[in-house]
Chain A
């Protein structure tokens, strides 16, 4: 027995970084699989390329940094970053979007800060925002669903041509995301009631029969995945609940003030990346606060920013910006919001009890 003399404990919970990553991936699987079914083979190729690019970029970065490759490469964080990034890209985006995105996420979003655990911003969101600003056309070209086994879906060769940005004769059916559509219509002064008749079918929303990125469509499957994460205690309820509650409160308030201009809470919660953001993106462990109270504040801030950007700012979807802005606040939140130490007051002084006068 030649173990190093080191303090206990000499027992451990069955947990590890890779176990956490694997559970998150499992939780994402139903929505991802459905998204690939919905948008066909090009979506599958994009998904694979994003993840592969992330893993390769991570391996190269680790090599350059002189770090041991095996433990870091297989902790699952690079794969998960790629997976989440793929969930937020337009499903028929060309391959180079995925590669540039992977570079932004892994190198600029994580490795330059010092690797896992050191980054300030959510890597997938860094990539998405960078892509959105640099390549607005490709990042806002959405297609309508082309179900995998239907006649409308591109075949194998066609799908490869689509993903690798080659000349193709496939007649894609484009479609705006619902948020994008609503923003445009509202901007042109059309009232919500008339938009509703055409656009908002809650069942479609929930099930996912709408345009959008892989993670934006099936609200029910994303919610299911989120609940799995809650039950396995991978994430706690504080960020998802505070974020969704804040969005709902703002939406209800403004919908009450002017029902024709401001969509109701249910719409906000089911559309766009709300659920994906609430359960999978804002809850990123490294970039969110460590205390429960801090997490509530963080979630509320994300929710408020999402609502503000969607309603009054230039972009139809504000999730990426909202999360990144709140990530910037996380160190400050962690600095000011600390738990009260046992046996001490909030100020740090030992607590004292009123001396009860003695009764004889």
Chain B
């Protein structure tokens, strides 16, 4: 199939940030050399961190398993190249706090020698869906759009939900980022293959690939590659942020809203990023674990912006160097896109599975003015794609009224940043929401702890009561028995005395 005459629905709100993709759009994916050290965090995904199976001093090969997944929601990590494990220690990661996470530190030996990879099946479509999911799990594939949810768990959703359609998220609505765009232009056939494998794994009827209209070359490439697949359709959607939000993408396609606190699976749809589909294809067809990804390096302060194939574990500083280094001191370095990306506090932190972009932005690009008071213009209300009242949420958060903030919909906020983007007073709305969400979570944890303590202490009081009661009863019983014995004895003595007297 090709383009579907699919009726599209409108989403509320949303904004149109300047795309700024011209610097890297069409820029061929360029590999970069392995840096002197590679840092593989044991937690690059949502869920429990992986548990290492290698130790300091071990010699490892490319693609070798370094750490096993722990529990239902977790993912393993693999070595991006051959070399030696220098240490397993805490090392900073790409998180705004800059706090360290346990990391396997590797020194590449330059040989890039492959480990023995799992043998790919001759025909993936003859495998059971569970087997495909198991291979995907073993390859450490997680959501490459940035959410990093373990993909195998998502593939197994069919066991609990009625699934109809697989939606492939190729919207890439964030400004600057072109990694998915370029991957589609260069690897459309492989991606389509991956999608059909995922359709089989999910046992769904069909798949829809959703691409924003500002990527005509990618659309053309994917349509061409998808011609032979009767159950895969490429759909063009209007350019609008946040079209890449899975809930809003599904609403655009079906007109249905995902129920609050629910999953898109509740309405029969599973969404995977297009780069994830590529990773699945590489895993199933060639046995490759997830050890590298396309990263867009862009912004006004980088010398050679482009799309780079980066080994997982490459420090951001090494990537910046490979991209030519600074042209000027950046005002901010961001991991991800400018709307929802995180500030990089340490450039020695490594690129991980969810890093789609590194942006070196100048003051001019950030366009931040000093914050003024809220003038209740309502621009944020118009921009919010979730129907919330950002101004009221922020006003309550500012005075620490967390419950008040939650009342206006704080827990339904997807933190897309549309409200802060349009605010004429340049109020850092998302910062207020992040603070309020964090404080609320802390409060709830404290409350839960208190409740549990109360439960346990109540149970203990009851136990003590029961024990004391039992003791009292036992004492009373013994006393009664002793009194009865004594009375019996006295009676016998009296009888004996009477008998003697009468004799």
- Looking across the interface, which residue of chain B has its beta carbon closest to that of A72? B372
Whether B331 contacts A338 by the Cβ 8 Å rule is no
Whether A353 contacts B267 by the Cβ 8 Å rule is yes
Q: Mark A247-271, 1 if CB is under 8 A from B, else 0.
A: 0000000000000000000000000
User: In the bound complex, what is the Cα–Cα distance between A11 and B15 (angstroms)?
Assistant: 12
User: In the bound complex, what is the Cα–Cα distance between A19 and B409 (angstroms)?
Assistant: 30
Least Cβ distance of A139 to chain B in Å? 29
Whether B331 contacts A351 by the Cβ 8 Å rule is no
Whether A5 contacts B260 by the Cβ 8 Å rule is no
Instruction: Please tell me which one of the listed residues A1, A17, A341, A351 contacts residue B409 in the complex, with CB atoms under 8 A apart.
Output: A341
- Place the interface of chain A in its size category: 35 or more
Q: Mark A171-188, 1 if CB is under 8 A from B, else 0.
A: 000000000000000000
Chain B interface residue count, CB cutoff 8 Å, equals: 71
User: With A1-B333, A8-B341, A341-B388 known to touch, is A15 a contact of B424 (CB < 8 Å)?
Assistant: yes
A66 at the interface (CB under 8 A from B): no
- Looking across the interface, which residue of chain A has its beta carbon closest to that of B431? A7
Whether A12 contacts B258 by the Cβ 8 Å rule is no
User: In the bound complex, what is the Cα–Cα distance between A353 and B423 (angstroms)?
Assistant: 35
Interface pick from A97-105, A114-122, A158-166, A301-309? A114-122
Whether A8 contacts B340 by the Cβ 8 Å rule is yes
Which residues of chain A from 5 to 40 have a CB within 8 Å of any chain B CB? 5-17, 19-20
Give every chain A residue within 8 A of B373 (Cβ-Cβ): 115-118
A204 at the interface (CB under 8 A from B): no
User: In the bound complex, what is the Cα–Cα distance between A3 and B360 (angstroms)?
Assistant: 13
User: In the bound complex, what is the Cα–Cα distance between A241 and B44 (angstroms)?
Assistant: 53
User: With A6-B428, A6-B431, A13-B421 known to touch, is A342 a contact of B389 (CB < 8 Å)?
Assistant: no
Give every chain B residue within 8 A of A115 (Cβ-Cβ): 373
Whether B339 contacts A9 by the Cβ 8 Å rule is yes
CB-defined A-B contacts under 8 Å, sample of 6: A6-B428, A7-B417, A17-B425, A115-B373, A350-B261, A351-B257
User: In the bound complex, what is the Cα–Cα distance between A285 and B375 (angstroms)?
Assistant: 7
Q: Mark A278-297, 1 if CB is under 8 A from B, else 0.
A: 00000001100111100000
Q: Mark A111-140, 1 if CB is under 8 A from B, else 0.
A: 000011110000000000000000000000
Whether B412 contacts A344 by the Cβ 8 Å rule is yes
User: In the bound complex, what is the Cα–Cα distance between A205 and B40 (angstroms)?
Assistant: 76
Whether A285 contacts B256 by the Cβ 8 Å rule is no
- Looking across the interface, which residue of chain B has its beta carbon closest to that of A340? B387
Whether B424 contacts A11 by the Cβ 8 Å rule is no
Q: Mark B371-395, 1 if CB is under 8 A from A, else 0.
A: 0111111110110111111010000
Which of A19, A236, A343 is packed against the most chain B CB atoms within 10 Å? A343
Known: A291-B381, A342-B12. 19 other contacts (CB 8 A): A1-B332, A3-B343, A7-B431, A8-B417, A13-B421, A13-B422, A71-B372, A116-B373, A117-B374, A117-B425, A289-B378, A290-B377, A339-B389, A341-B386, A342-B247, A342-B412, A343-B262, A350-B260, A353-B266
Which residues of chain A from 70 to 105 have a CB within 8 Å of any chain B CB? 71, 75
Give every chain A residue within 8 A of B415 (Cβ-Cβ): 7
B126 at the interface (CB under 8 A from A): no
User: With A15-B424, A16-B369, A351-B257 known to touch, is A8 a contact of B375 (CB < 8 Å)?
Assistant: no
B321 at the interface (CB under 8 A from A): no
B18 at the interface (CB under 8 A from A): yes
Give every chain B residue within 8 A of A353 (Cβ-Cβ): 256, 259, 266-267
Give every chain B residue within 8 A of A350 (Cβ-Cβ): 259-262
User: With A116-B373, A353-B256 known to touch, is A10 a contact of B409 (CB < 8 Å)?
Assistant: no
Least Cβ distance of A326 to chain B in Å? 15
User: In the bound complex, what is the Cα–Cα distance between A280 and B348 (angstroms)?
Assistant: 54
Whether B259 contacts A343 by the Cβ 8 Å rule is yes
Least Cβ distance of A22 to chain B in Å? 12
B294 at the interface (CB under 8 A from A): no
Give every chain B residue within 8 A of A292 (Cβ-Cβ): 382
Least Cβ distance of B220 to chain A in Å? 29
User: In the bound complex, what is the Cα–Cα distance between A1 and B425 (angstroms)?
Assistant: 24
Which residues of chain A from 312 to 349 have a CB within 8 Å of any chain B CB? 338-344
The 3 closest A-B pairs by CB, nearest first: A290-B378, A343-B260, A9-B417
B501 at the interface (CB under 8 A from A): no
Q: Mark B336-379, 1 if CB is under 8 A from A, else 0.
A: 00111111010000000000000101000111111011111111
Least Cβ distance of A124 to chain B in Å? 15
User: With A7-B430, A11-B18 known to touch, is A16 a contact of B424 (CB < 8 Å)?
Assistant: yes
Least Cβ distance of A332 to chain B in Å? 14
Instruction: Please tell me which one of the listed residues B15, B341, B388, B424 contacts residue A10 in the complex, with CB atoms under 8 A apart.
Output: B341
B325 at the interface (CB under 8 A from A): no
Whether A11 contacts B381 by the Cβ 8 Å rule is no
Give every chain B residue within 8 A of A75 (Cβ-Cβ): 372
A352 at the interface (CB under 8 A from B): yes
Give every chain A residue within 8 A of B377 (Cβ-Cβ): 20, 285, 290
Whether A285 contacts B378 by the Cβ 8 Å rule is yes
Give every chain A residue within 8 A of B266 (Cβ-Cβ): 353
B120 at the interface (CB under 8 A from A): no
Whether A5 contacts B376 by the Cβ 8 Å rule is no
Least Cβ distance of A227 to chain B in Å? 19
Give every chain B residue within 8 A of A71 (Cβ-Cβ): 370, 372
Least Cβ distance of B250 to chain A in Å? 11
Which residues of chain B from 304 to 338 have a CB within 8 Å of any chain A CB? 329-334, 338
Whether B378 contacts A344 by the Cβ 8 Å rule is no
User: With A351-B257, A352-B259 known to touch, is A13 a contact of B428 (CB < 8 Å)?
Assistant: no
Least Cβ distance of B418 to chain A in Å? 8
User: In the bound complex, what is the Cα–Cα distance between A168 and B377 (angstroms)?
Assistant: 46
Instruction: Please tell me which one of the listed residues B260, B359, B388, B428 contacts residue A351 in the complex, with CB atoms under 8 A apart.
Output: B260
User: In the bound complex, what is the Cα–Cα distance between A339 and B434 (angstroms)?
Assistant: 22
Whether B387 contacts A342 by the Cβ 8 Å rule is yes
Q: Mark B81-107, 1 if CB is under 8 A from A, else 0.
A: 000000000000000100000000000
Give every chain A residue within 8 A of B339 (Cβ-Cβ): 8-11
Q: Mark B250-289, 1 if CB is under 8 A from A, else 0.
A: 0000001111111000110000000000000000000000
- Looking across the interface, which residue of chain A has its beta carbon closest to that of B425? A17
- Looking across the interface, which residue of chain A has its beta carbon closest to that of B412? A341
Least Cβ distance of B377 to chain A in Å? 4
Whether A8 contacts B333 by the Cβ 8 Å rule is no
Whether B375 contacts A286 by the Cβ 8 Å rule is yes
- Looking across the interface, which residue of chain A has its beta carbon closest to that of B259? A350
B420 at the interface (CB under 8 A from A): yes
Q: Mark B223-247, 1 if CB is under 8 A from A, else 0.
A: 0000000000000000000000001
